[in-house]
Amino acid sequence: MVKRIIFHIDANSAYLSWEAAYRLQHGDPLDLRTVPSIIGGNPETRHGIVLTKSIPAKQYGIQTGETLYTALAKCPELVIVPPNYSLYMQCSKAFGDILREYSPSVEQYSIDEYFVDFSAMERLFKDPIKAAYVIKNRIKNELGFTVNVGISTNKILAKMASELEKPDKVHTIFPEEIAEKMWVLPIEELFMVGRATSKKLRSRGIRTIGNLANYDPKLIKLFLHSHGLLVWNYANGIENNPVRENRRPIIKGMGNSTTISFDVEDRDTAHLVLLSLTETVTARLRQAGCCAGLVSISLRTNEFYNCSHQRKLFSATDCTNTIYEIACELFDELWKGEPVRHLGVRTSELCLNDFHQIAFFEKDYDKQRAVDRVVDVIREKYGNGSVFRSAFLHSGVRFSSGGTVEDEEYPIMSSIL
């Protein structure tokens, strides 16, 4: 029987690395990775949150998910770069295209990580570890960013291996190396062990992955139910799912939100902010080849009161105008007149956009979709600000707001005990 060899290849600080590589390739002398810098928020208003950070920024204690306000308090010279989702999609595709030159079995797991089944490639590449270095160095030299490569006999061990030390590394965790390399790690390092699960495990004296692996699975199931068996399997390196060729990442939803630099006190301005958010969200939907069957909006008042509202669509869509109109209707139904400081638009219940069921009273969907496609092409070629709606002129609202990405792109690698 052929021994399985699985690679997990993960871009290091993907958004920031991709932005840095793009700028260097276009003549910018500054490499964002060498200075305290972040991707996220609005550099003009300095509102929003940190999506990803450079290693120098990490040395100031800056954390992913914190506000730009607190990040700037830690490092006043921090370089802030807004997110560029069209660039990220292009980089992700180029990343995957290189990997497919080394194996026909490549699965995109999220925008910045892939699994590669290397099991049948021994005749071309005798040593998988040497092949991993070739792939890693080629991505670095040709695309300008670094990756980590984890190697093992299944997906979970390969993924754990790729996380061991960053950046620009190749690591292995083969079954015989689990005790030495994985069991010694804190329980929080195990894939699928979040804050709540970690708290429950630590309350029972389970502090390392090894503690969990050697715990009675029947007792784990008593207080963590089926999730307990899942993480127990992962702690023992048990996972047998195949690498699925040409599989799109499982995306449950796409959204964007923004903290506004002033109190929004009128409906028209709020609608304009929703339009700027919807422009970003729907462009990403189309890039991913998805339509949304559910639209939701969220708001936070200047008194920090949070609320949300959603609506299921009769037919899924990726049309900017359609989703914007629904977002405005949801806002009007939800808003009670209080000053608003934060707005968000989210789409979920996604499906592929290769088929559309037209409703009887629906507006000319094909015409709107054609316009959206033309705008996407222009922005991709000439930049995000090359074309935007005249409603944003002199409005005080950016045509492309946001910076809080609300994707759920991480499917569970299910495992059977």
Residues with active-site annotation: 113
Q: Which of 164, 174, 205 is nearest to 187 (CA)?
A: 205
What's the chain's Rg over C-alpha atoms?
Answer: 23
The tokens of 320 are what?
């900017």
Q: In what order do the strands lie in the sheet with 37-39?
A: 52-53, 37-39, 79-81
> CA–CA separation, 216 vs 77, rounded Å?
51
> CA–CA separation, 285 vs 343, rounded Å?
19
Exposed e or buried b for every residue in 180-205, given b needs 16+ CB within 10 A? ebbbebebbebbebeeebbeebeeee
The tokens of 131 are what?
């092949």
> CA–CA separation, 144 vs 18, rounded Å?
8
Q: Residue 187 region, left (φ>0) first, then alpha (ψ -120 to 50), else beta?
A: alpha
